[in-house]
């Protein structure tokens, strides 16, 4: 599994991690097996959120018995809870559900009504208390990041987690360049889209399949390799079973050629810069 540095101050972690949105909706045993298989194969970056129902409880089962060691565990606070006191309470609740003493990174899930100063102060307090090791944000556009930088200063923001997949490349216009300039990791959520992965019979799907066939890999591995071609970008696909987890993990050692990247760039053009950042 390829690793790279997570932000300016963070450790090197797996480029391909594990997302857990909706992981609590299916068979609990299979979900736990998928997470454990992913960890075995090097996908040690595990992402969750208080919004994700019982996902934190599923993760707690998967990492029980000493499996917490060497993981990079991330959760998120809802904007409605992101006051100074509310952020601390939400974090403590997530720690309890995850059955761990500290999070490696804690994120503001999206921009809300509470001033950023309050949330950042809570993050700093949580770091001082040893309950989180770093903090970041999710769904922040470049303008939001500018404002956050003015509050927190350089080097404080570990990551920005954003929607990014082959058919949604809006963050390439301003968000990724901003994060590259300031040493902020970019984490791609829903890297296969949201129930709309390219059909193998579509023009786009055929371009993806051609590369997969030539390499002897899956189309999903090619998609993940395309997203993580940029050194600042990590991806957190979700797997519903151990086989799917293994397929995702294999993308961590796949590097596309210049011609393959060009072919996908032509098949999935990034389009014009949108007025606002897309999110799910």
For position 68, what pLDDT does the model report? 85
* pLDDT tens-digit readout, 108-152: 999 999 999 999 999 999 999 999 999 999 999 999 999 999 999
Query: Which CATH number is associated with domain 3-267?
Result: 3.20.20.100
Taking the complete model, does pTM exceed 0.85, yes or no?
A: yes
Q: pLDDT digits over 222-277, tens only?
A: 999 999 999 999 999 999 899 999 999 999 999 999 999 999 999 999 999 988 89
Catalytic residue among 22, 52, 114, 189: 52
Burial class (CB in 10 A: 0-12, 13-18, 19+), 237: buried
Name the pairing type of β-strands 233-235 and 185-189.
parallel
- Percentage of the chain modeled with pLDDT above 90: 91
pLDDT at 188: 98
pLDDT averaged over the chain?
96
Q: Which residue has the tokens 């519903």?
A: 240
CA separation for the pair 114, 102 (Å, rounded): 24
Cβ neighbours for 85, distance < 8 A, ≥ 6 positions apart: 122
Q: Clarify whether 52 is annotated catalytic.
A: yes
């Amino acid at each position: 599994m390829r690793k790279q540095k997570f932000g300016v101050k963070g450790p090197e972690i797996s480029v391909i991690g594990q997302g857990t949105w909706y992981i609590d909706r299916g068979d609990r045993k299979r979900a736990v097996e998928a997470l454990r298989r992913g960890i075995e194969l090097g996908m040690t970056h595990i992402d969750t959120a208080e919004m994700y129902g019982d996902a934190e409880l599923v993760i707690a089962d998967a990492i029980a018995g000493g499996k917490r060691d060497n993981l990079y565990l991330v959760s998120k606070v809802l904007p409605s809870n992101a006051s100074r006191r509310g952020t601390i309470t939400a974090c403590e609740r997530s720690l309890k559900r995850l059955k761990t003493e500290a999070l490696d990174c804690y994120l503001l899930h999206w921009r809300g009504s509470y001033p950023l100063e309050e949330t950042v102060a809570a993050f700093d307090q949580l770091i001082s208390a040893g309950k989180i090791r770093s903090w970041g944000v999710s769904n922040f556009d470049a303008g939001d990041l500018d404002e956050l930088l003015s509050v927190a200063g350089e080097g404080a923001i570990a990551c920005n987690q954003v929607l990014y997949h082959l058919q949604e490349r809006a963050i390439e216009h301003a968000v990724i360049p901003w994060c590259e300039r300031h040493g902020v990791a970019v984490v791609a959520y829903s890297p296969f889209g949201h129930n709309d992965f390219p059909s193998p019979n579509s023009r786009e799907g055929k371009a993806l399949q051609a590369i997969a066939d030539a390499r002897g890999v899956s189309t999903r591995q090619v998609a993940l390799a395309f997203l993580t071609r940029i050194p600042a970008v990590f991806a957190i696909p979700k797997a519903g079973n151990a086989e799917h987890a293994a397929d995702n993990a294999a993308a961590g050692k796949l590097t596309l050629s210049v011609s393959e990247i060009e072919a996908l760039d032509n098949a999935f053009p990034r389009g014009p810069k949108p007025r606002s950042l897309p999110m799910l």
